[in-house]
Every structure is written in structure tokens, then in C-alpha cells.
Amino acid sequence: MNDQHFSPSTQILADEIMGHNQIKLQQIHEVAEWLGFETRNKYQLTDKDGFQIAFAAEQQKGFLGFIMRQLFGHWRSFEIHIYNKNRQHCLTLKHPFRWLFQRLEVFEESGKMVGALQQRFALLYKSFDVEDSRGKSLYKVKSPLWRLWTFTFTKHERSVADVQKKWSGLFSEVFTDRDNFVLSFYEQELNPSDRLLILSAAMFIDLQYFEKKNSG
């Protein structure tokens, strides 16, 4: 996918993330979470110095969307839109309704598929694949029991990136879904498409493994 041609708004984000080896993802807190309600997921993405790179927001609004979030958590169907630093829509993350083996498909603004995140069966660790637009596995992702907050991306047994959940403070961890993650890229040759998928994977990790509704 090195020859991937993006739409202009997607290209802005792709160029931005190529210039960083580390990106922070922070979930934006909403007051309703203090009362135990699941709210629309919103995120801001910054560089290591805190300068904004992008932001993202779940699109299901209204009363029906609220009810679906309370009843079905991460199993529900939903979309997340990612916007570049110029507030232009550049990526859409689509999650179909599934009881098992969750999936998140990534599309650029033009509608062209970039790739997908596909959960895999595993007993002693969390596991999913990063796939290209044709369904070919690009990277394996695992988080073993002894490193529950670290998700390592590997290719041919070599680590190329990881996503780590960071402590958000006692109040946020206990009473809200406000999670913080750090994305680290280890391989300079990771192309823009791969980095966009890894960035999307950080949100998949939050929704799949750290939403309060998911963890029971």
C-alpha cells in the first residue's frame, strides 16, 4: 500500500503523522459519565508536546443512539469520523453489529477502503489483526495477561509499533471512560496507510477492551 493515493483531506493527516514517532490519544470526558452513562466517544490526537494533530467523534446521535450505547456497548453498529487539524473529515471508522470477533473498517474521506482491524480468537491474551483493503493481514497485535495495557504490533515476529494505555487518574479510571493512550512507531518505513490503520487501532482498542460497558 505504499502507492496509496489519498484524497486531499486524508493526505493532510497522513503527512502529519509521518512526521511523528509518538502520538497521544486522549478520550474527551463528558459529564454524563459521572452518572454511569455511556456517551458518544470523542478523542483528540496530539503530538508528544500537546499540539493537536486530529480529533475524532462517534456519529450516532439522538435518543436511539443513546439507548443503543447503554444496551449494547461495543457490540453495536457505529461510525467514528476522524478530522484533520484543519477540521476536515478525512477518515471514517465503521463498526458492524457483532456479538463475536469485533471488526472495525477504515475508509478515507472519498469512500475508498484503507484497511480493517479484525479481532481473533485467543485464550491467554487479547488479539487482533491489522488488514489491508483486500483482507490480507499486515500486522498481528497481542496484549498478554502480564501486559494488559500494552498492545504490540508485529510483522514477521518483529515489533513495529505499540499502543499503551496510560493511567488517567483515580477519578477518571473509576468513574468515567476517559482513557489515554500513547502510540509509538518503531519502524521508519511504516507507510502512511499503515500508520493511519495503527492510529485507528488505538480507538478500536479503547472501544473493545476499555469501555466500562465492555468490562462488565
| Per-residue model confidence as pLDDT tens digits over 7-29 | 999 999 999 999 999 999 998 86
> Would you say residue 1 lies in a domain?
no
- The pLDDT value recorded for residue 108 is 95
Gap between the Cα atoms of 172 and 186, Å rounded: 29
When pLDDT is averaged across residues 32-46 and rounded to a whole number, the result is 65
Gap between the Cα atoms of 195 and 99, Å rounded: 28
> Would you say residue 114 lies in a domain?
yes
CB 80 within 8 A of CB 92: yes
Which residue would you say has higher pLDDT here, 177 or 92?
92
Q: How many domains does the chain have?
A: 1
Q: Is the pLDDT score of 170 beyond 60?
A: no
- The pLDDT value recorded for residue 61 is 57
When pLDDT is averaged across residues 31-36 and rounded to a whole number, the result is 41
> Would you say residue 150 lies in a domain?
yes
> Would you say residue 118 lies in a domain?
yes
When pLDDT is averaged across residues 61-74 and rounded to a whole number, the result is 53
Q: Is the pLDDT score of 39 beyond 80?
A: no
When pLDDT is averaged across residues 181-209 and rounded to a whole number, the result is 92
> Would you say residue 215 lies in a domain?
no
> Would you say residue 3 lies in a domain?
no
Q: What percent of the chain has pLDDT over 90?
A: 58
- The pLDDT value recorded for residue 212 is 58
Distance of CA 22 to the CA centre of its chain: 15
Q: What is the domain extent for residue 55? A: 8-210
Q: For 93-111, write each residue's pLDDT tens digit.
A: 999 877 788 999 999 999 9
Mean pLDDT of the chain: 83
> Would you say residue 216 lies in a domain?
no
> Would you say residue 186 lies in a domain?
yes
- The pLDDT value recorded for residue 210 is 84
- The pLDDT value recorded for residue 70 is 53
Where residue 171 sits, what CATH number does that domain have? Answer: 2.40.160.200
Which residue would you say has higher pLDDT here, 74 or 10?
10
Burial class (CB in 10 A: 0-12, 13-18, 19+), 89: middle
Which residue would you say has higher pLDDT here, 202 or 69?
202
Map grid coordinates 496510560 to a residue: 166
Q: Is the pLDDT score of 216 beyond 90?
A: no
CB 140 within 8 A of CB 127: yes
> Amino acid letter at 163?
V
